[in-house]
Amino acid sequence: MEPIPIRDGAFLEKDFLAEEQAWAHRMLLKPAQEKWQRQPWADEATALVEAAFEQFAKDHADSNELAPLADRFRELLKKTNEDPLLLELGARALFAEKMDWREGRPLLEKALEQGGLNGALEMVVIYSRWLVANREGIDTDDLENRWLNAIERTLSDGSYDEATHTVLVRHHVLVLNTINFTRPEPLEHYSRTVDASTLPDWVKFTLRGTAEKHLAWVKRSDSWASEVKDEQWKGFAEHLKSARDLLGKASRLRPDRPEAASTMIGVAMGEGMDPTELRAWFDRSVSAQFDYAPAYKALLYAYRPRWSGSHALMLAFGKACAATKRYDTMVPSQLMVAAMAVTEEIYNPHAVFRHREVQQAMVDMSRGYLEGTVSSPPLMRHLRVSDAAMCAFLADDDALAQKALDAAGPRLHRSTRDRLSEMLMHEDFLRAEVAADNGAYGEAIRAAANPAPKTPLSDIHATFMKIDEKGLSSDAAAYLREAKEITGLQEAVNAGGWVDVHFHKHLTAFYQSEEGDWTVNPDGSLICHGTDHPRSRFVLKVPMEPNVEMKGEIAFDIPDSVQRSQFGTGFAPMIHWLPTCTSGVRAMIYYLGGGSACTKAYCDGNESTPDIPFSLREWNTFSIRAADGKLSYDVNGRTMTSGYDMARLGLETESGMLGFSAYRLPVGTQVRVRNVSIRKITAADLGPKTSSQADGGTSLIRAADFDWIWKAGLIGLLALVAIFIPRFMPNREE
């Protein structure tokens, strides 16, 4: 892999952000100051807006930069809540604080209801409304249409001056790349408007070329290639050619700008995989701006196997990025991004991050960010050291991971926590495993948690069982109890009868995904904290064969006063879940308020069992059973469905894992779970019943081997010993 080009004095993202900050002062703050200059709160408002602009420019870790200013905006908005700029920035800050759309949405709606907004201010407000709407889960088509109209107005209403055409291009490209276009007309109108403007040619060519690229995909449709018609292919090719011509002109006119060359990577992908051309456009883009993130994202995507690339090529590109050692930028972190992208396809983060071709580079990158960002702004520093902790752990340098955890403080950056969930991990798991490996829980636990390769699970369990809890810290004791339980679960279940599933402090026996937030009460009950996410999953790391039953109790702590998503909110016990296919049958309980609920079972498709209303109790019992492809489940002793054919739900596999799934549980609310037990069953157990007696049946977990897991694509889930295999699994090729 060729080195990433580094030009002395190259333009960086921080330089663009300085340009954007100057534009915001002139085009957003100054007009607002003229309106509020005689108000008693004018100086306070000016200082707060300037602080917000400074935060955007200097500490751009992610989209939540304004969270530190939330309290100040909350106080200011008590004095005035009419100015659209203050409403927009205040909403961004309040939303970023807890990722709760409820406080920010009315502020943004009020700002958008006001007339007389120039295109730039309306564009900014709509962007914030779009962020909030996506968390809320509502349809954004109308909002995106208004967004496109707003940026069209900025072409002629003075929103940008000659000194800020670079800012205009960046803003327009962002909007074009964010909107999900399904019809050609909006893009065609936008392109005509750009062409009729008085902007410089390089700006016109860049924007029209970007629009043509999106038009090409609208013409093609997002169908599988085999389903695309000849006429669609023709339109696709025509618009890609137009995009190539326009973007090529833009790049030749302004080789110091990264946008056109970066967009050309996507055009070249659509026309056919030519690695040399792809890399040439990438080099042009990053030669103009070394850390232009869209260029790195586009090339890494082009290197995926589905585009005739390979995992080896993706990781080689990541290594080249890390080799720049430019820890003042995001470039070295592209090794982490590349490794995560590969993990997304093979479901084994440890195998990727510890692969002999990248392991040392991953450790060096982690150390570089830990040591090289000491003087960075606080949010950026927090992000970098949090990512360093995750990467060092996955690359098997636990000492370095602990140093990074210490630097990160008691809570990892939100973006790092999200990255962990994308790889089915969570922060408590990471911290506990690092502590165990570093000997913080004692030498006996460290030795037991690091068995030799291919050690039988029964031997691992026996080693843990010999360790006495006496003298251990509370954290070490919790870790030990969970290790004893999870390593002995196979034998216990196969012996027949009910097996209790306990929730221990670190939850190392469970996968978490999709921005979930799960903790354990002192009384041992599981708590699912609301995040508003539609698919927050919590899954036991033990794969189950088809015939299984899970029972327990669920309590909803959701005040009726809390605003719920328009799509509802619910919580479900779940069986037969795999990350590789349509899976996870959920017996969803939808909370309706006032003690009412309804329930239905579904998978990932549109088919479901019938809705059945019922009354909630403080604690609601459940039993979900599957055998021979049929599903039955009860809530509060009442059978909600019996012997339902799960194939009708779209389920692609009858093997998988069991756990729980939260659906749009509001921020600030929670669901509790207790008294969970599992057992193996037969088809005879599917009928309505309340008995808790053990039944016979075939083995729930295969003791001999786990070949079926590998066939199902669960190479990264590592079955029963998932919390231990990463410690003794050798590096290997994909």
450-470: pLDDT as tens digits: 999 899 999 999 999 999 999
Long-range contacts (CB closer than 8 Å, 24 or more residues apart) made by 230-236: 236/270
720, two tokens: 């029963």
- pLDDT number for residue 709: 28
Separation of CA 541 from chain center: 20
Q: What is the DSSP string of 230-249?
A: HHHHHHHHHHHHHHHHHHHH
- pLDDT number for residue 196: 98
- pLDDT number for residue 8: 85
Average of pLDDT values for 135-140? 91
- pLDDT number for residue 712: 28
- pLDDT number for residue 689: 52
> Pick from 44, 99, 42: which is nearest to 66 by CA?
99
User: Is pLDDT at 60 greater than 80 in this prediction?
Assistant: no
CA distance 615 to 610: 17
- pLDDT number for residue 716: 32
For 45, 234, 532, the CA distances from 252, given in Å and listed in that order, are 44, 27, 46
CA distance 240 to 68: 44
Under 8 Å between Cβ of 725 and 718: yes
**pLDDT class for 697, splitting at 50, 70, 90?**
very low
**pLDDT class for 513, splitting at 50, 70, 90?**
confident
Backbone angles phi, psi at 696, to 5 degrees: -80, -175
User: Is pLDDT at 721 greater than 70 in this prediction?
Assistant: no
- pLDDT number for residue 56: 93
Residues with Cβ within 8 Å of 273's Cβ and at least 6 positions away in sequence, in order, are 302, 307, 308, 309
Under 8 Å between Cβ of 352 and 342: yes
Give me the residue spans of the domains in the chain: 11-180, 183-298, 510-703
Under 8 Å between Cβ of 460 and 721: yes
96, two tokens: 């970023």
**pLDDT class for 205, splitting at 50, 70, 90?**
very high
Under 8 Å between Cβ of 685 and 695: yes
Beta strand residue intervals within 447-569, DSSP E: 499-501, 510-513, 518-520, 526-529, 536-540, 548-557
The CA-to-CA distance between both ends of the chain, in Å, stands at: 19
- pLDDT number for residue 73: 98
- pLDDT number for residue 693: 29
Q: How many CB atoms lie within 10 A of CB 43?
A: 11
Under 8 Å between Cβ of 451 and 728: yes
Burial class (CB in 10 A: 0-12, 13-18, 19+), 691: exposed
List the CATH code of the domain at 11-180. Answer: 1.25.40
Residues with Cβ within 8 Å of 334's Cβ and at least 6 positions away in sequence, in order, are 296, 300, 317, 318, 321, 322
Helix then strand count (H, E) for the chain reads 28, 15
Q: What is the pLDDT of residues 601-610, one digit of tens each?
A: 999 777 999 9
- pLDDT number for residue 410: 98
506, two tokens: 């670190």
Percent of the chain with pLDDT over 70: 94
- pTM > 0.85: yes
Four-way CATH pick for 510-703: 2.60.120.200, 3.40.50.150, 3.40.50.1970, 3.10.129.10: 2.60.120.200
User: Is pLDDT at 431 greater than 70 in this prediction?
Assistant: yes
Average of pLDDT values for 143-168? 97
User: Is pLDDT at 17 greater than 80 in this prediction?
Assistant: yes
- pLDDT number for residue 109: 97
User: Is pLDDT at 622 greater than 90 in this prediction?
Assistant: yes
Average of pLDDT values for 69-77? 97
Instruction: Please list the residues that pair with 623 across neighbouring strands.
Output: 551, 634
Q: Which of the residue ranges 150-154, 278-282, 312-316, 710-714 would you say has the lowest mean pLDDT? A: 710-714
> Pick from 209, 310, 317, 327: which is nearest to 262 by CA?
209
Angle made by CA atoms 91, 96, 100, in degrees to the nearest 5: 80
According to DSSP, residue 25 is labeled I
Q: Name the pairing type of β-strands 526-529 and 536-540.
A: unpaired
Q: Which of the residue ranges 498-507, 656-665, 701-710 would you say has the lowest mean pLDDT? A: 701-710
